[in-house]
A and B are shown apart, each in its own frame.
Chain A
Amino acid sequence: MPKTFNELMREARAAAREVWPDEAARLVQSGARLVDVREQDEWEQGHIPGALHLARSYLEQEIEAAVPDRTTPLVLYCAGGVRSLLAARELREMGYAEPISLAGGFELWKSEGRPWTQPKVLTLEQKRRYSRHLLIPEVGAEGQAQLLDSRVLFIGAGGLGSSAMLYLAAAGVGTIGIVDFDVVDLSNLQRQVVHTTDRVGQKKTDSAAEAIRALNPGVEVVAYDEMLAEDNVARIIEGYDVILDGTDTFETRYTLNDAAVRAGIPVVHASVFRFEGQLTVFQPYAGPCYRCLYPTAPPPELAPGCSVAGVLGVVPGTLGLLQATEALKVLLGIGEPLVGRLLIYDALDMSFQELKLRRDPHCPACGDGAAQSGATKAAGASAGTSAPQAQPLVARPLGGAS
């Protein structure tokens, strides 16, 4: 029996409730899930914050994965309230207990002065390049846009930095800063995969920049061909969202730690030795800092670097990728970053062990005394703390990753 459009609408009104924007807002506040059923181009021109986007044309296919619990109350909206009402009827048929349609749709919502947001629109090229990210709800177009706007600093373009910077460049992190004063050596190539044989002898910053540009020309590379030291660290790290520490020396690690705590920038830390690695995230004041974990550096014979002790080439690659993973989580604000936890990786056993780390209230960099003394306020410190009283451990120049 053929039906007219008006008959379909009558049936839909009998199957699903319609609410005005004020009630819709109340429902969402009390836990209803907001679903935008408009097409992609309409979504891109503006949508209600927090809404899930499931275009009407894919709604039945995608709703079960997006909202598996059929008792979840749903508030659907389109531009004017017709498509969302028809969609609500479909969802009723699929067994969703409470699909509700926003009468007047997004247009009425907007005209009442209610909040809406316009996502950053990706170019066609970016949509293709990052399509696998766009499919993940935890990243999506908004998360990708966030990555494109983000800035990550690498201390060292060595074994840890190599794999991490390739993947973060591939992921579309907009700006990648690289601090390294060294040149590419043949002995680096067993693990430092960002460099190549024909670039032996080049500055590591230039070599890494070339690899990154070849992989993703949309990434801006900022090269710092200098040693990270007390007198330049604040200038170099300023404005970065996350720092990946892949240096070879304790001095550099302490210098970076103290400055990052002052500036309130999270540091994703990793270090390696032969078949093992350690990984953690130092998020200033949310967890411990490097000095809380290791108040003083060991004597050199107790902590030889990779150039002395050797390292299985894949180990820094693995740890670098774990650093990159943590950096993406911190940038996107998803998951549980490794804050207050230290991961120990043993490649021979293929085991991961986790230890709990605590912020030391007496820490000279981030402890209660350091935060309250207010002796020398660091320029540009976002955490509002004073400079820690930490002393440089040794007087010799600070190193980069070898």
Chain B
Amino acid sequence: MSKVRIPPVLRAQVEGNKQVEVDGSTVGDVVHGLVERFPGLGDQLLGADGSLNRFVNIYLNDQDIRYLQELGTPVSAADTVVILPAMAGGA
């Protein structure tokens, strides 16, 4: 089970949780597992073809998966997957 950090803007879709544990051997498995459990996240994370939306960044620990193996990046139970959507608020 990898830990997935849910950003505040998406917490309403995951019953208010800040962190969720999801099974999977790659980041893609984890993301799809997350969407299966919380279908409300689907439109926000994934495009129609199942690929990651460009306005969402996913990090494995502190590294952007775009510079690893994207959704094919392997994960282990010790890893944290961070979902980072853009934030515009200047307050």
Contacts and interface: CB of A to CB of B under 8 A. Distances in A.
Asked if A and B are interacting partners, one says yes
Interface residues of A, number: 51
A346 B53 CA distance: 24
Interface string A21-55: 00000000000000000000000000000000000
B78 interface: no
A302 B57 contact: no
Contacts of A267: none
A271 interface: yes
A272 B7 CA distance: 12
Interface residues of B, number: 25
Contacts of B64: 355-358
A302 B41 CA distance: 10
B77 interface: no
A354 to B, nearest CB: 6
A250 interface: yes
Contact of B87 (A161, A273, A402): A273
A358 B90 contact: no
Contacts of B89: 248, 271-273, 304-306, 309, 311, 316
Q: Which of the listed residues B59, B64, B82 has the most CB atoms from chain A within 10 Å of its own CB?
A: B64
A113 interface: no
B88 to A, nearest CB: 5
A349 B6 CA distance: 14
B86 A159 contact: no
A246 interface: yes
Given A250-B86, A355-B84, A294 B8 contact: no
Given A302-B55, A355-B62, A358-B67, A297 B8 contact: no
A172 interface: no
B75 to A, nearest CB: 16
A401 B67 contact: no
Contacts of A105: none
A401 B91 contact: yes
A274 interface: yes
B24 interface: no
A272 B85 contact: no
A246 B62 contact: no
A386 interface: no
A354 B88 contact: no
B32 to A, nearest CB: 19
B9 interface: yes
B90 A278 contact: no
B17 interface: no
A16 interface: no
A276 B88 contact: no
B63 to A, nearest CB: 6
Interface in B1-49: 7-9, 18, 44
A282 to B, nearest CB: 14
Interface string B59-73: 100111011000000
A277 B63 CA distance: 19
Contacts of B9: 273, 302-304, 309
Contacts of B55: 294-299, 302-303
Q: Which of the listed residues B7, B44, B85, B86 has the most CB atoms from chain A within 10 Å of its own CB?
A: B86
A331 interface: no
Given A276-B8, A304-B9, A294 B90 contact: no
B8 A272 contact: no
Contacts of B53: 298
Given A303-B86, A353-B62, 11 more contacts: A246-B91, A271-B89, A273-B87, A298-B53, A302-B55, A303-B85, A306-B89, A311-B91, A316-B90, A357-B64, A360-B66
> Which 6 residue pairs spanning A and B have beta carbons closest together?
A159-B91, A316-B91, A298-B55, A401-B90, A271-B87, A294-B86
